[in-house]
Amino acid sequence: MRPLERRYRALMTFTQLDPEMLDRAGLKLDVNGLVATITLNRPETKNPQTPATWLALRAIGADLDPPVRVVVIAGEGDSFSSGLDRRMLTPEGADGEGSLLQLLALPDAEIAETISGYQEGFTWLRRSDIVTVAAVQGHAIGAGFQLALSCDLRVLADDAKMSMRETLLGLVPDLTGTKPLVDLVGYSRAMEICATARWIHAEEAREIGLATAVVPREELQAAVADLVAALTAPLYGAVSETKKLLQSAAVLDLDEQRREEREAQVRRFRELAALMGG
């Protein structure tokens, strides 16, 4: 095995959350009671992402403290995320990570398996035991756009603009962004957004259902804090059960969904009775 290939494969073993590893991945993690905040932390270059970023996100999801109920994804500085660090598509690659081009030395099945590991950094944000919020300002491009789409809710600053730029690189969105995009805006609009790689500004994002809310840039942090406070106020079992019901509603027929609702409500009654000592 080539030295660079060994170094690249070694990234797939990234499971630790010590500060040094998070720093190399361009992330900060702050856990405060019920709320975990993950911050993309390369502001000088608009918070680009690398495979180490995605694997660190996967590790955070795997090791998340059980009491956490809300996860906020934010970007340091003027932008949420400029997407994939373009150096990853050069032979030299990014510092300490090598190049994504090294994947070409692997069989197709191993390339797909590697991408699956990256996708896990995004898919855990849909878990029913947490509610996830993206706080988006400035640019959210490619992988940045897909990271925001992975969250349940998106609060956008009025200077936010998003774009799915992968087609301009001859690639496809492969970090789990296509399904939520179609779910939110429909097939035709999603096709147009991806195929043209155009910019979607905050106001349009609100109009077509991509943004939960749009606020002035200087109010973004306060708006997200208010939303987090509202999300952590109810009995959380009801919130997580409701999230599961809303997720299943997209794929089940009415009779199956009615059954899910009934069974969920029985569980809620049982938990409430236990809390009241009944």
Percent of the chain with pLDDT over 90: 81
| Candidate from 45-49, 101-105, 162-166, 256-260 with smallest mean pLDDT | 101-105
Q: Which residues contact 66 (CB under 8 A, 6 or more apart)?
A: none
CB atoms within 10 A of CB 91: 10
For residue 2, pLDDT over 60 is answered with: no
Question: 14 with 52: CB under 8 angstroms?
Answer: yes
**b/e burial code for range 229-249 (CB count within 10 A of at least 16 → b):** eebeeeebeebbbbbebeebe
The pLDDT of residue 276: 84
For residue 129, pLDDT over 90 is answered with: yes
Write the DSSP symbol of residue 163: E
Fill in the amino acid letter for 14. Answer: F
Tens of pLDDT, residues 61-109: 999 999 999 999 999 999 999 999 999 999 988 877 888 998 889 999 9
pTM: 0.91
Domains of the chain: 3-232 (3.90.226.10), 236-275 (1.10.12)
Give the C-alpha distances (Å, rounded to integers) separating 62 from 57, 124, 146. 9, 8, 20
